[in-house]
Amino acid sequence: MLGVANARSLATAIARACRREGAELALTFQNDRLEAKVRELATELGAAVVEPCDVTRDAEVAALATRVDATWGRLDFLVHAVAFARRDELEGAFIDTSRDGFAMALDVSVYSLVALARAFAPLLARGEGAPSILTLSYLGGERVVPNYNVMGVAKAALDATVRYLAADLGPRGVRVNALSPGPLRTLSAAGIRGLRTMLSLVESSAPLRRNVTADEVGDAALFALSSLGRAMTGEVVHVDAGFGIMATPPWPSE
């Protein structure tokens, strides 16, 4: 489980849902600054493995796979909830995205999924049920969202990566999917200007007339990760109260 950074993150909601259904978990932290919080959450979740893993470093990805292999000898699912873009790239015009900012966003948010899939494919192929990789996307990869900028391009690349990995790993019995949740008040989302306006727009425009919750995303992840979703691969599943189907906000009655 990569991306569990704090109690309010979507990765934590997914981890709690999986643990509730009896899963044994491995959690990672990127650096020393995040270690204490992740270890606190690991205690809450009864995680058997807590390891450092900077997804931009192949040696750390390989070390994590080795540790999981030594602990369980197989893996039933892998959750990739990792994304990053510099704060200054998430404001102003997308055309002003810097070259190094673009490369960083794509490396951390997209290539990391490729690196992890390659490292863990042998363990997943030994998994029970319907082994699965799950990542987190967003509607900003399909449509323009103000201030999402380079992260929108990264999410579009992530969606395509899900499809290509699904085609590669399907013959080995491993599924690859993404969830595309609606906006939530998480610490990572707080870096996007206009979040409050976005939440208000979804609440007034989505067919269900509300925003989604982290627990709802966790429950959707359970379906995607478990044998309940055993025939689903290469999909980006929207968990957004229906907002993504709307072409315009509801029109007033005539």
Is residue 90 within 8 A of residue 192, CB to CB? The reply is: yes
Half-sphere exposure of 10 (CA within 13 A, CB side): 29
236: which strand partners? 178
Catalytic residue among 29, 77, 120, 148: 148
Would you state the structure tokens that stand for residue 124, as one six-digit string?
A: 């997943």
Largest CA distance in the chain: 66
Contacting residues for 162 by C-beta, under 8 A, at least 6 apart: 113, 135, 137, 176, 177, 178, 234, 235, 236
Catalytic residue among 29, 77, 120, 138: 138
Counting every residue, how long is the chain? 254
CA 205 from centre of chain: 24
Instruction: Give the span between the Cα atoms of 156 and 142, in whole angstroms.
Output: 6
Is residue 7 within 8 A of residue 34, CB to CB? The reply is: no
Is residue 170 within 8 A of residue 120, CB to CB? The reply is: no
111 is catalytic: no
2 DSSP 8-state letter: B
Residues taking part in catalysis: 138, 148
